[in-house]
Amino acid sequence: MKLMVNGEIRDIEPEPMPTSLAAVIEQLGYHPRLVVVEFNGTILTPNHWQEQLVQEMDQLEIVTIVGGGS
């Protein structure tokens, strides 16, 4: 399945079908507690990721949260 992730087309292997957003985030190698996800233009909180099904050419913007400071 092809998805648009951060402006780039990415191929993922959806297993099993249908695939949840939570499974896609994990397959892409992101730590779920350290990202903010926009799914087709809507920011989704992590409690919605398991129920959100992903389809061919859905668009994801994934932003990694970085800690720091002094």
Residues 10-65 have pLDDT tens digits of 998 867 778 999 999 999 999 999 999 999 999 999 999 999 999 999 999 999 98
Domains of the chain, with CATH numbers? 2-64 (3.10.20.30)
Give the C-alpha separation, 41 to 20, whole Å: 17
Beta bridge partners of 39: 42, 60
Q: How far apart are CA 56 and CA 4, in angstroms?
A: 9
Q: Which two tokens stand for residue 63?
A: 């932003």
Distance, in Å, from the CA atom of 67 to the CA atom of 40, rounded to the nearest integer, reads 26
Which residue has tokens 């932003």?
63
Q: What would the two tokens of residue 24 be?
A: 């896609």
What pLDDT, on a 0 to 100 scale, did the predictor assign at position 6? 97
* Higher pLDDT, residue 12 or 67: 12
Considering the entire predicted model, what is its pTM?
A: 0.86
